[in-house]
Structures are given as C-alpha cells and as structure tokens.
A and B are shown apart, each in its own frame.
Chain A
Amino acid sequence: MAESGGASILNRRTFLRAAGAATGAAIAGGIPGIVAAQKPPSFPKGTKLNILEWVSFVPASDVEFKRLATEFGKLAGVDVTVDLINMNDLNPRIASAIETKAGPDIIMMISNWPHLYADGLADVDDLAQEISKRDGAFYEHNEKVSVVGGHWKAVPLCSVPSTWAYREDWFKEEGATKFPDTWDEWRKVGIALKKKKRPMGQAFGHSLGDPNNWAYSVTWGFGGAEIDKAGKVVINSKETIEAVKFTVAVWKDCLDEGGLAWDDSSNNRAYLAGTCSATINGASIYFVAKRQFPDIAKVTGHGHMPKGPGGRFYSIGGQGRSIMKYSKNQQVAKEFLRWFMDRPQYEKWMGANDGYVVGPTPHWEKHPLWEKDPKLAPFKESVKYGRWPGYPGQPSRKASEALVKYILVDMYAQAIKGMKAEDAVKWAEGELKKAYA
C-alpha cells in the first residue's frame, strides 16, 4: 500500500476480498475489474467518508458533486457526507484538521496548498499515475502544485482559469474584431475605449484571485519572475520594471481607476452593469449574464491573456483533492477519488460546470461541452499557458508566503499610487528575499 503513515494497515487486496465476501458482492479482477465495471467496491457496513470542498461559484457543480457522492455511497455501501464551505474558510479548517488529526477524510486543495500541508497528506502516487496513464499526462501546473518531494500529495481535479471577458460590440467599434493578441494591441484598443468612458477593469486590492492574475501573468509576460528555477529572487530586473511601467501607463490610459479598491467580485458587477468593457475573470461573468443579462451575454466574448515580450502566461494554480494522513478511511477515500475521476463520473461533473472548470488532462479537451458553446474555448486553451505561484521555481511554502503578502500585487499598486517603478520593484525584491529566505 502506498499510504505512508496512514491508519489503513490492511493490505488493499485482502481488504477488498474481505469486503467483497462480507457483502456477498465479490469483486472479480480487483481494481482493473472495478474500473472496467465503472462501479466502486463495497466496504464493510458502517464505513464512513467525509469530504470537505469549497462552495463552487457554479451551483450546479455542487449539486452534481453531492449527487455523485451519494451515488458512490449507495454503490459502495459507504455513508458519504459532503461539507461545502466558503473558499476562504478552507485554510483554517485544513490547519485545524491536520493539527488535531481529526476531520474530513478528503479535502479540496486549491493552487499550491499540497506544498503547504504536505506533512498532513497521504501519498496518492498510484492513483495519480493510474489516471495520467489512462487520460494522458496532467497539465504541468496541475502536476507542479500536486507533487511534493517526488510524491503526489493530491489528485489533480481541474483548473479554474480566468480569461478576458470582453464586450465584442464595443471592441468592434474600435476596430478590434477579436480580442487583442499582444499587450501593445491591447493597449491601443484600451485607450480608445477609455476615451469613450468604457475602460477595462482590473482589481489591485487584496483578494486572492484577480489581482494576482494580473500581477503574475503580466510579470511573466514581460519576461520577469519573482524567483528563478533555483529559487533565487530575481524580481529586480529590467523586464519586471518594464511590466510595472506598462501597468502604470495602462492604469491611466485604459483601466478603470477604481481598481485599487476592487476585490474579486467588483469587476463582475462593473462588467454586468456596463461600466467596464473587459476584465479578467472566470466564466462566472458569462454564466450570470446568460441567466440575468442575456443582451450582455450575446455581446460577450472571451479572449486570451495577451502576449508580451516574454510570451503568454496565465496564473493558474489548479485544484486537487487530498486524502488526509490521519484519516482512518484512506482506502475508501482513495476508491472514491478513483471512481470520481473515472470518465463516466467526471464527464457528468465537468458537464455540470458548463465550462467553468477545465479537466486536469488533455483528454478533457474533447468534452462535448466545448462544442456546445464556442465562446468558452479560450478557457479550454488557457491551461496550456498555465503557470503556478513561484514559477519558474517550485510552488513551495515560500511561494505561498509571497502570495499571501500580496508582494507582486502591492508592487504594482504602489507604482500606480505614484511610487517610481524602480523603487516599487526594489521594495518587492526586499520583501521577496525575506519570504524566500
């Protein structure tokens, strides 16, 4: 058995044989048989499984997840409970669960959290390898955030990328028949739009999603990075200074100057209210528009993060599910993840998300939902350009510290407020050196 330090001490095959005999449902062929039959194994009566996840921004996703969890429970004879909490509350719950060695058996991991909590997570090497063998290699960012010290600490679940949601009609008026491909083109259109009081919108406040999407993607796009591959702080480069200067310039030329006070939801409201012409966001703006503002949905398109001198990048941490090391039900937990990630189940769950999430392997680029609504195609493609906190270094604990201190975001925000670009980058260098010390 691959679990290290887990409470399950039965040999897996012995366990499954015993479980099968006990329930009268002998499982022929072990795991390959289970996979082939698309059914989970049965477990002794009274076996429980508790799963903790975020409350998705797509309600149908939660409904489908709960339905699948119940289905697994019935098939496997396991009492499955699902707790959904606000994303911001996951960190304290995980910390207390690991420290007290009690709590959910499976917990959702967002971005590089497997690196933060690696010591409290069971290895899932066999399962991750099994999935990648079947569906193709995981996207690089999914793998980077899930593998710690050579071991898979989470089973990659998906990515929730953000692309540019934009008003196709307004962009057309400025001569842009598609979303600009480079930052220079983007700026030209942005200047024209802002002159007509149709600025683009970008948050630079303290919220984990949108501000970091700009800060990391633009820094990389201009060829800068907070650290190099070896983990040395290299933020103070002419490339980063150029990225900061560009941001200050477009702040005045193209962007809504309320962005310093924006959080992750402000741009959604502004876009749907028609006060901003484009913004970086997940597909949720489009979904809400389809439900409540169909006229806006009709003229909404999605565009890729523009290319800079350094290339095209997205800051995507991805999501995964980890089995907790303290769990006494690691075997059941692993079977649940195996069953959920299998194609028939995953396809349904991904379908319920309607394009909000992108599968963790290239196999899911073929999901029928992408054909249903071509406007969502950039989300599917964005994961190829996805990078993790700390890129090109490791998405380590230290990268988390830099992230939660909003060092890159504040570097841009301070420059916007008037600090010289060089000084803002120097400030960031000082803070990053402390975080990566």
Chain B
Amino acid sequence: MARVTVATDVPVAVPDVRRPRRPGRLSELLEKQHVLAGVLLAPTLAILLLFIAYPFVLGIWLAVSDKVVGRPGNFVGLDNFRVNLNDSIFLRAFQNTFIYTFIATALKLALGMGAALLLNHHFRFKRIVRASMLLPWIVPTVLSTLAWQWMFDATFSVFNWVLMNVGIISDRILWLGDGVLAMGCLIAVNVWRGMPFFAITLLAGLQTVNPDLHEAAEIDGANAWQRFWRVTLPLIKPIMLVVVLFSMIATFADFQLIYVLTRGGPYSSTHVFGTYAYEIAMRAAKLGQGASISLFLFPFLLTVIVFQLWYIRKSD
C-alpha cells in the first residue's frame, strides 16, 4: 500500500493503483510449457549429444574409414566389416561373445533368483548377509579378477590344491590352458561378479509382492513351485526383464575381466568383441578396423533392447 497526504495532513491509507509490473519476455517465454520443458531438458540433451551421440557417430565414421593413429581416415565403405568376416579370430570372438553373454546371463538370472528367494526369508544376520552379497559387485573388477587369476594359476591354483588333497584329481587341471575350460572359467567369474546385482534387484522386486496373494494361492492348494511360477514370477517379470537387459548389455561389452584373465588366449579361444577390438585399435593402431569390430555389437544390442522394452511395455 502507498501512503498519500491529503489536506487534513492526516495520512490515509489508499489502495496502490499503480499497474502491476509486466513480466519480462523471458518469464513470459518460460510460462509456455513447451519452452520450459525445452529449457529443462537442454542440459540432459547436451550431455547426451556430447557423451553419447558424438562418440557413437564418431564410432560409425571410424568403422567405415581406414583411420589409423596419426593419419586422417578415408571412407572405405564396408571394407572393414568384410575384412572382419574373413578373419578367423574375429569369427571366434563373435561366437565367444554370444556364448559368454547368454550362458553367463542365464546363470546369473537363475542363481540370482535363487539367492533373492532365500534372502527374502527372515533369518538371523539377514542384513549382514544381504550386504556381503554385494561385495563381489562392489570390488573393482580388475582387483577381483587378479585374485581369480591366482586361483586359476597353472602352478599354484588353490582349486587344484584342494581337489588333489581331497583325492578327486591326481594331476592338476589347467584352468586357463584349454580353450573350452578357459571360457568356462571366464563365465564362472562373470557369474560370481554379476550375480549379486541380480539377487539384490530381484529381492527388491520380491518385496513388492503382496503376501496376501501367496496366502490366497496357498489356501487354493497351490504348492511352492506353483506359487512361484503363477504368482511371484508374473509380478516381478518387469523388474526381471530390466535387470536381464542391463546385464546383457554389460556382458556383451565386457572387457576387463577377460583381458586380465586370458587376453583372448590360449590360441585366441577366449577373445570377445571387446578384447579383440582393443588389440586391433590400440595395439595395432588400426582405429577404423577396431571400431568396426566394436560396432558389430550394435545391431544385436539394439535388437535385445527393442525386444525387451517392447515386451515390458506390452506386459504393462
């Protein structure tokens, strides 16, 4: 309220009749929903463009070029992909990537589900057990893989020592000295490392399941397996699919674990896309060729993502 003086010299309160301040142009703009949405989304969009879209587009460009370190690349079309398909080591890496991803993911899902069901029960030290479950997932991959390397060592393997002392084997097992066995070891370590992620995420899903539904099913005569299959599983399916999706993406692109344990050996029997692309791009300095190996992942990952997202949406 403004104060004005009238003839009586008595201050009288009168209403402020000045026109309200017009909002600035910027404020006016921000009042519009689509503009505000754009402004709020801009930082995210900038980050996505800078850190996702640009490297991706650059990766595509490299894959269709003959780029080597220090020289400008020339467009070579699909030559790099043709070279890859004629390369026996690449074809082995291709096959390995799928074997590694599908077997490891399936085992992580099965064991993770089992662990989640167990952890969903009440027992003493439940919290400590739950927390310790996460340890393999928390420890840096390189560190834990180095420990596994020792355990698989040709001369000093603790597994061999135990198996020999128990009398199960008489001669050492060369865990990383045979292609099939080495791949099995890689999958085992990946499962050991990734299973807690499944267990904890699925546990979170299990805790959202209303116990009344189980009770009702039990009253209707459903056994434990039927309750799990008909009640629990459908309810946690969306979260299960999300965790499988994330895990498949991470396992497809795995690098550290394999590079530390075998570097693709013996006789290139454990190379996956990631390790082979690294050798070609970084050690042979053929960035274009290396990018084309990495890019082979893309169509498969895209298919997996589209399918799973479609399935989740359909389920909803």
Contact = CB atoms under 8 A, between A and B. Distances in A.
A257 B155 CA distance: 10
Contact of A91 (B89, B266, B283): B283
B51 interface: no
Contact of A99 (B69, B177, B283): B69
Contact of B285 (A259, A397, A430, A431): A397
A258 interface: yes
Contacts of B153: 261, 266, 269
B70 A117 contact: yes
A92 B278 CA distance: 9
A270 B284 CA distance: 31
B268 A406 contact: yes
Interface string A399-422: 011011110011001100100000
Contacts of A406: 264-265, 268
A432 interface: no
Residue picked from A92, A260, A401, A434, most chain B C-beta under 10 Å: A260
B285 A410 contact: no
A275 B83 CA distance: 44
Contacts of A95: 69, 281-282, 285, 287
A414 B89 contact: no
Given A260-B177, A266-B154, A397-B68, A414 B267 contact: yes
A263 B152 CA distance: 12
Nearest to A413: B267
A261 B263 contact: no
Given A258-B177, A275-B155, A413-B267, A205 B285 contact: no
A269 B157 CA distance: 12
Given A258-B172, A261-B154, A431-B89, A116 B284 contact: yes
A260 B284 contact: no
A269 B282 contact: no
Contacts, number: 124
A397 B179 CA distance: 29
Given A258-B177, A434-B83, A118 B70 contact: yes
Nearest to B67: A99
Interface in A190-222: 204-207
Contact of A427 (B88, B155, B266, B283): B88
B284 A266 contact: no
Given A95-B287, A119-B71, A410-B267, A261 B282 contact: no
A263 B259 CA distance: 12
Contacts of B68: 397
B218 interface: no
B88 A431 contact: yes
B272 interface: no
Given A401-B286, A406-B268, A434 B86 contact: yes
Contacts of A410: 265-268
B64 interface: no
Interface string A82-117: 000000000110110011000000000000000011
B215 interface: no
Contacts of A204: 266
9 contacts: A91-B283, A119-B69, A205-B176, A260-B174, A260-B177, A269-B153, A404-B279, A409-B265, A431-B88
Given A99-B69, A205-B263, A404-B279, 16 more contacts: A91-B283, A92-B282, A95-B282, A116-B284, A256-B155, A259-B154, A260-B178, A261-B174, A261-B266, A270-B155, A401-B280, A401-B286, A404-B284, A430-B88, A431-B89, A434-B86
Interface of B: 68-71, 83, 86-89, 152-156, 172, 174-179, 182, 262-268, 279-287
The 10 closest A-B pairs by CB, nearest first: A258-B154, A206-B265, A119-B70, A261-B177, A260-B177, A206-B263, A261-B176, A404-B283, A120-B70, A413-B267
